[in-house]
Structure formats: structure tokens, C-alpha cells
Structure 1
Amino acid sequence: MYITQGLHRHLQARPNATAIRYLGRGITYAEFGDRVARLAGSLKKLGVASGDRVAMLSSNSLRYIEYYLAVPWADAVVNPVNYRWSAAEIIYSLDDSETSVLMVDDNYKALAARILAESKTVRTLIYAGDGETPEGMLSYERLIEENDPVEDARRGGDALLGIFYTGGTTGFPKGVMLSHHNVAFSSMASQQTGRCNASTRFLHSMPMFHLADFAAMVSLFSSGGTHVVLPAFTPQAVLEAIHDEKINEILLAPTMIQMLLDWREANPEAQRYDLSALERVGYGASPITPALLDRACSVFRNAGFTQGYGMTELAPVATFLAAEYHSPEHQQSGKMYSAGRPYSCVEVRIVDAEDREVPRGTVGEIVVRGPNVMLGYWNKPEATAEALRGGWMHTGDGGYMDEEGFIYVCDRLKDMIVSGGENIYSAEVETAISSHPAVAQSAVIGIPCEKWGETVHAVVVLKPGMAACADQIAAHCRERIAGYKVPRSVEFRDALPLSSVGKVLKVELRKPFWEGRGRGIS
């Protein structure tokens, strides 16, 4: 299997079908395939050899999708760059992977000059923007115009597809090595669940450097649907796209869903957007609270909700919760709030610290084995051996499995709070807090306590125009969870620090409390 396989299929069978829509314009499979082959030819002419790394630092665009296919077409390896990182983190990832060619758009052309000056390995900059090509860079469009198309190398199987750096907010990132087989398998497994087909109009609103969006991209090329691309996520842009482009499938992080619903409620004119075309809403990247899920279901009434649980190292999904479990019946049973069951051909276990499987209903570490598991971490054999010990990917997530094989994610193990010898899972406390009518978002962390070791601290964002005090939050929680889990302190903020895909950066919340102390805050 190889990533460009789906494109070849539709170049042959549906060359005049619309492949991508971007900024109100469409491009057919035939036009797209020609541009990909010419871009691949230009890379080879620039000296990119088999297995060389080519990076992209850009917002979402048509060119980003072309990059993802042209690089393996040229027998090279993709390295999508997280634009939320600092310059030092970006340069580290480029040098660590020995990347020699970097593509940048208008948003990052200034940063590119610093990268070229400070990087030990980047030698060629390609300007993938819409303005005048900066001095010292090559024009993306001119490279396509001036180079002939080349044959696809059909790089595939266990060959390295890409190095997807993860982390970077708590120290220098690790490069996750994924093969064509890893990502192609995830694409096939995704389609088995009913996602993506030839009639799909999928909205790319998550960052394209993130593997979740890339995996959806691969599934869509396999099935022959239409990619609709937003340069970046904003609530208004998403609602407008659903209305204007008749979007029927979307993937969002829970925080994005929260922002979208909040914006819609705060802006009466948003009621004019027709959302009835939307049939499937996938969510992932972090747990969703029951209150938010209920609210989303009431707005997107024609849509079936699905959840994918996983991580970059799992290409990226391990378990899947189908739309049928988002129902009053399964809300009552609790399965609506699980992470679902393992993907086809994927094994999941819950183990203790000695890697022994624990009884059903017992919290332990979630470990995964299957064709989706990464090759390893680039240049980090010790970290690879630790993560893949015994042939299982150790996720670092705490969770349990019920008698029917449904997985319930409790917390990142490193986020677990240990207070007076009791294990407290922040996700459980956050669920209780988020059911308060005045709460928009919350994040729970452990902070130092001389008596108990740690105590529960909540950071809360209130809904616009709503009010609540710390005592009210605590009293609300006390009715829903055990007393020792109730927040001992509550902090109110206007917003939570978020990663580029909407994950709450708890490391930033913990930092003021733990600096200079012994507890790790990575």
C-alpha cells in the first residue's frame, strides 16, 4: 500500500470530478494530479533523493495537500511542521530530521529567513505563498510551471512515509516515524466505519500539519470525495463553509466544538446558516464532556457523532465510537461517553506497571498493538524501546475496559493527581465542573500541598454573561463526585492555553505552582 494509490485510482476513473475546493475555487483530479507530478519533478531536479526529508511550514491550503502527495511521489519523506512552536523548536525538528528542503507560505516567510540562517541542514527554501517570491527563495508555482511531470516512485509498504514531530511544548519534540502501511491501514479501517465515500464533502479546518487531518485526507483520496479547505479554524468560517459548501463531514477537537457553539449562541445572525447538510461530526484529540456533547447533538441534529481515540504514534487512531452509541439509550448506559472499541485488526489491553493485564473495570495504562503502531521515534532508540516494550505501544493514558470491550479514558497518567494516597483523575473532575450551567470550559491540575502531597486545583472559564464563585463550583462538584476529588481551589480565567489542535496545555497551568519543586510537569 502507498499513499498516492487513491489518487491514481481517481485519476483513472474520475479525472473530471472535483478533488479540492479552496477559497471558492475548485480543482479536478486531473488538474491536481498534474500539479503533484510536476512538483515531484521539481523536487527531484533540486536534488531531493530517495528518503530525503522535505518539510512544510504553512497554514492549510491547496498547496499543502499537493505537498503531502508530491513528496512521496518523488520518493522522499514528509515532515510537516507545527507552526505553533517556537523558532528554536522548529529549527531543532528540522535539524534532527536532517531536512534539507523547506516550503513556507506568506505567514512564515519571515521566520524562514531565520531558519535558513540558523539551521544546520536546511539549504533550500520554496515560497508557497501568493505574493512576490522573497529573495533567496524559489517560487512554488514557477517550479510547477517549469518542470515536467515525473512518474510516481510509488514509495510504499514499510518504507518511511513521514516524520511527524509530537510534543515541543514541554521540551524538544520527538519525531514519530510512520510508514505508508501505518497510515494506509488507518485509512482503510476508517472507511470500514462508514466514514468518507465518493459523496463526502469533507471540511479541513484542523491544522494540516496534524496527523488527524492528514489521515482524513488519505481516507478521502482513497474514497474519492471532495476536500474543502479552510486556511484556519474560526467558528464563523466553519459555519459559513457548512452552509455554502454543503459540507457533510467534519473533524473537530472538543475545544473547537465549544468555540463554535459559543460563537453561534453569541451571534444571532449565525442562526441563518443552514447546517442540515452535515451528516457526520468526528471528534477527538481530547475527551469531550457530557454537557458539551449533549449541546453539540442538539445543534447538529442531522449529524451522527463519532469519536476516534489515539495518538500520533498510532497513525493516529486505536479505538472508535460509532454514531449509534450517541443515543439516549447509550447515554444512560454510559457508553456514549466511552472511547469506543478497538479499530479493526487493532488490539488494546489495560495493564499495570508490570505490563500485566488488569481485570475489567480496573484502571491501568492503555497499550495498543496492530498495523497502526509507529516504526519508532527518529534517532531515539531508547525512547522507542521504552514505548514499544513487549511489542505494545504504551500510550501513557490511564483508562479501563468494560465487559463488552469498550474503552474509557480517565486521564493522562502524568496528569493524574495523587492526594493523600488517593488517585484522582482530572477528566472526572472536569466532567463534574463542566455540568455547571455557568461553566464554558475547565481544566483540573494537581498543585503542591505539604499535608496531602497534592490538592485539586480547577481553572475555569465561564460562559459570557454568567457568574459563579469558587464555593459554588465546589458545592456543585460535591453533589456529583467524592469529597476528596472536589477542587480545593478554583481560579477563573478568560481562556485556557490551547495547543494548535485544541488540547489544553496543562503544563502551562502547572508551571507557576511547580517551578523549583520535585514533581515533573512534562
Structure 2
Amino acid sequence: MHPPPSPTLHQGSTFAELYRSAFKAFSTREALVGDGVRMSYRELEQGCHRMVRCFQGMGLRRQDGIAVLAANRPESVMVIIAAHLMGLVYTPLHPLGSEEDQAFILSDVKAKALVVDVSHHAGRGAALAQRHLVPHVLTLGPAAYGIDLLAESSGLDGSDIALDAQPDDILKIAYSGGTTGRSKGIVHHQRTVVTSALQQLACWEWPSEVRFLAATPVSHAAGAMLLTTFLQGGTVHLLERFSVDGFLQTVAAERITTTFLVPTQIYGLLDASEALATHDVSSLQLVLYGAAPMAPARLRQALGRFGPVFAQVYGQAEAPMTISYLRRDAHDLDRPERLSSCGRSLPGNQVRLLDAHHAEVPVGEIGELCVRGPLVMSGYLDRPEETAKAFAGDWLHTGDMARRDADGYLYLVDRAKDMIISGGFNVYSSEVESCLAQHPGVALSAVIGVPHEKWGEAVMAVVVRKKEGAPVDAAELIAFVTERKGVVQAPKLVTFVDTLPLTALDKVDKKALRARYWTGQDRQVG
């Protein structure tokens, strides 16, 4: 018999190796545009190498932790890539997170360095620096604290470096939103992010020329598409902060072909009819959307305005971006039920809908969506009990309730924590929100459960009216849902607001809404 092969024989690639392959393959092409800067692949690579040498010079070594608090700008992207090239453990901080949450994350992850974009976060960076939570505070630009990373690295050698990252390394520790207490560190080894990147390349319908507009933070969803854009020789355009005018102007000026948006951003574009009419968006070929449910009525409106360019991505922090995908051609107005789907599971993932006993539910019935495969996180940092709960029965339990049809399409009905139990009946808030979206007077809604002495919870709709058209009142909306969904699903209370609270990622913040009604109550859902 032959001796067994070395364990290294079948090891996979690293993010660092994939970035290097892109840099070498497309060295003269334009890689990165933003903040008045246009960089080629070679210039981006050399800038990243200079940052790596700066990190090494201050004593950082492979698998040390580095946290980044920054906006969408070229230097932020360079820091993230440099961390990957060097094999550091990268942790993004929420751009709109609280000081206490950010301080907790720095301590929890035991970061060796904090990088602060002082053009956007100077005050928060100063407050975190004063806490002395990390040995090294680095700033993108001059500041009264820390070391100016841009100045320190500018004169260093930009030639090739040795790639220290190893296939079994931790690449990233991302933190959940902290909706049920202290946020949890979600540990991703190289295999998770490499798997997601390869699934994106294989299964998403990229245009032949990729000009990707990062309209959401690169610290979160948009950041997952940097490498896949570069592996295709595409260009990443950075939008500092999403606004309707800024988005439309950039699409028109740069002939953007693809982007990622969350539903509230798409709604904002649709409701800005005058701005849409005065900007050319015909270059868009693929608009990826996800991170929150999108109302089918608004999706139909978007298809009518932009054409068949929409594709839905579904994942979560514990299994990022590529659990399932709803293709552009599945957005079929002749099959309107498909507009409620998050698509089919992608190759490489095992996806099952399980009941409380970890048994698979029949087609058409609702169960918890659970996942196995190399996309799944390694666990929660130093949280063995919560990791065991998430992995019960050797599945990742996503907390998303879903059903599957006979063709394999998945339909998310709600987050388990967003399900309302009223008088013993389950009410799925996303279904009520989708119904409300069909009313011509509703721009946006959030449906939550509020305390009720008799039923335990009552269904409440918090509604933003459309600015155009006849005003709508509560009784009309209650009757509208009752007629279409029945009395159980219909809101018992409707309140009107000018705006809904949003998270740092522009998702509706239901935790903030619920807090107004559940303070001091026994059941406060995160």
C-alpha cells in the first residue's frame, strides 16, 4: 500500500491567494473608484502590500486580530484586503454601532489593532482609543490620536509579499446585531468565505463587464462582493452612503452594470419617480437584493420600472450570502407566487426545513430552514452553549421559518423571533407586510406583536403613507388585510409614522419598534 497523502495535499485555497490571482491577471485594468480616486489593479495591489509591511513593522503577525471602523472609501478596501493577504483575523465594526457595543467587540475579539476612518468616525475613534482596548490604534489620515496608517505606509515597498495566510486560518469574526443581548462573534475560517465566493462566481448571473456599485457598507454585504468582482476583472465603485440622487448619478455617470441593494433602498428609488425619470439606468443588468424580505407588490413595481434585472440572494451572518438564489428568469410575472421566493439552495449546501424534533417537514409545510456544508460558520467565539444550540442535530439553525414547493423553491415566511402568536394562532409578519404593500396608499410598513391581555399579542402595523395619492386611514387598511388574509392576520392596531427606524444596514429595526410597547413586559423578542 502507498503511504497516506500529506494533509496539505487536499487543502483548499485562501482568500489571499484568490486576491493575488486577480491582481496578477488584470494588473492594468481599473479596479477601484471612489472618493475622487481611480486605481488600477496594480496600484491597488501595491497599496495593499505597503499596508501589510506597515502592519508587520508594528509587530502584527498572522492570526492577530484587526478591527476596522470605516466608511466606503478606497483606503478602507485596501486595509481589508491587506488584512486578508497577511492572514490577520478581520472584524468589521458597524458604522452606526454604539460606542459600548464597539468597545465590547474589541475586548471580546481581543483585537491587536483598530483602524479608524477619521474622516467619518474621528470622535468615535477618539473615544475608543481612550479606553486603551487595543495595543495599536491606526487612523486613515492625521488625527490627535493613534498612528496615521496612510502616512506611515506611503513610503514603504509595494512589491510582492509572502502570503502567510493558511487554509485552516480564521479569516473573519463578524458580530451579530446584538438583538437578543450582547452580540456574538461569528467565526469564519477560510473555507467559509472561499466557498461563498466560488458559489457567487458559479451561480450568480454576472454581466459580461462587471462594474459593481457598492451602495451598502463594504464592512457588510457589499464587502462580500469585492473579491468576486475582482476575480472577473471588474471594477468596484464605492458610494460613501446610499442616497437616491447619489446612486442614480453614479449609475448614469459610470455605466454601472451591477449592484446590491436592500429592499428599503429599492423602495426609495421607486418612490423617487421624478429623479428616476431624469437619470439613465439602462446600463444595469443585475440588481442583487437581500438582507430582508421584499414585498412582492413592490418587486412587481421594480420589475416594471427597471426591467428583468433583479435577483435575490439569501444568507445570514452564520452562512453568508449564498444559501439560496432566485434567478432573474424566476422573477416571472406569469408566476407571481415566485416573487415571494428566495430561490433554490445553491450547489454545495444541504438545506432542510425541520420541525422542533429535527424531522423534515413535508412539501408545502412550514419548518425552520437549516443548513449544512462548507458555507456554515465554525461557531460563536467563546460561546459553546450558544454554538451547541445553533448546531443542534448537526444542522445550522437559521431561525428563519420557511416552506418549500414541489419545484424546490424556498419561501421565507418569517424570522422565528418576528412571528406573532395571537390567541394561539401563528401570524407571520412578513405576509401581512406583503399584503399591506399592495395597497396604493402604503409606502412601507412594519408589522409587530404588541401586548394584549386576552390574546397575549395583538397584531400592529406601523405604516408610512405614500406622499402621492389619497390619504389612507387605519380602518381602511384593517379591512384591506381582512379581506385578503382573514381576520387573524389583519392588524388590530394601525399607527402612522413619517419614517421607520432603520438599522445600520438600512433594514427596518423591529427591535426598536417593539421596545416601545414591551418595556417591562415578560416577552421582549429581540
Is TM-score (shorter-chain normalized) higher than 0.5? yes
Report the counterpart of residue 112 of structure 2 in structure 1. 100
Structure 1 residue 388 corresponds to structure 2 residue 391: yes
8 Å contact kept, 1:176–1:376 = yes
Q: Could you state the TM-score of these two structures normalised by the residue count of structure 1?
A: 0.95
1:68-467 alignment to 2 at 5 Å? 68-105=80-117, 106-119=119-132, 121-129=133-141, 133-149=142-158, 151-196=161-206, 199-210=209-220, 212-262=221-271, 264-265=272-273, 268-301=274-307, 303-331=308-336, 334-466=337-469, 467=471
Matched to 1:300, the amino acid is: F
Given the superposition, is the C-alpha separation of residues 197 and 289 from structure 1 closer, same or farther in structure 2, using an over 3 Å criterion?
Answer: closer
1:65 to 77, 96, 100: 77
Alignment partner of 1:487 is 2:496 = no
State the secondary structure of the residue aligned to 1:516: coil
Native 8 Å contact 2:514 2:524 kept in 1: no
Displacement of 1:445 in angstroms is: 0.7
Unaligned runs of 5+ in 1: none
Query: TM-score, normalising length from structure 2?
Result: 0.94
Structure 2 portions without partners, runs of 5+: 1-12
Q: How many residues align?
A: 511
The 3-state SS of whatever aligns with 1:306 is strand
Classify the secondary structure of the residue corresponding to 1:102. Answer: strand
Deviations 1:174-231 (A, max 9, x none): 1111122111111111111244466200000101111x21211121122221101111
Query: What is the CA deviation profile of residues 152-183 of structure 1, one whole-angstrom value per residue up to 9, with x for unaligned ones?
Result: 42514231001111113543211111122111
**In structure 2, how many angstroms separate the alpha carbons of the residues matched to 1:476 and 1:413?**
25
1:483-502 Cα offsets, whole Å, 9 max, x none, are 11110000100111111222
Distance 1:231 1:298, change over 3 A: same
**Distance in 1, Cα, partners of 2:58 & 2:207:** 37
Match of 1:468 among 468, 472, 476: 472
User: 1:315 offset after TM fit, Å?
Assistant: 2.2
Deviations 1:391-424 (A, max 9, x none): 2110011111111111100001111111111111
Is the contact between residue 286 and residue 310 of structure 2 (CA under 8 Å) also seen in structure 1?
A: yes
Asked if the contact 1:85/1:168 (under 8 Å) is kept, the reply is no
Is the partner of 2:335 in helix, strand or coil? helix
Give the secondary-structure state (helix, strand or coil) at the position aligned to 1:485: coil
8 A contact 1:362–1:400 mirrored in 2? yes
Structure 1 partner of 2:9: none
**SS across alignment from 2:96:** coil
TM superposition shift of 1:24: 4.2
Percent identity over paired residues: 33
SS in 1 for 2:201: helix
> Contact 1:178–1:315 at 8 Å: present in 2 too?
no
Q: How far has the Cα of 1:338 moved from its partner?
A: 0.4
Which range moves more in the overlay, 136-145 or 150-159? 150-159
The letter for the 2-side match of 1:404 is: D
Contact 1:442/1:458 (8 A) holds in 2: yes
| Distance across 1 between alignment mates of 2:461 and 2:284 | 35
Which of 6, 9, 14 is residue 2 of structure 1 equivalent to? Answer: 14
Match of 1:512 in 2: 516
CA distance in 2, matches of 1:496, 1:442: 8
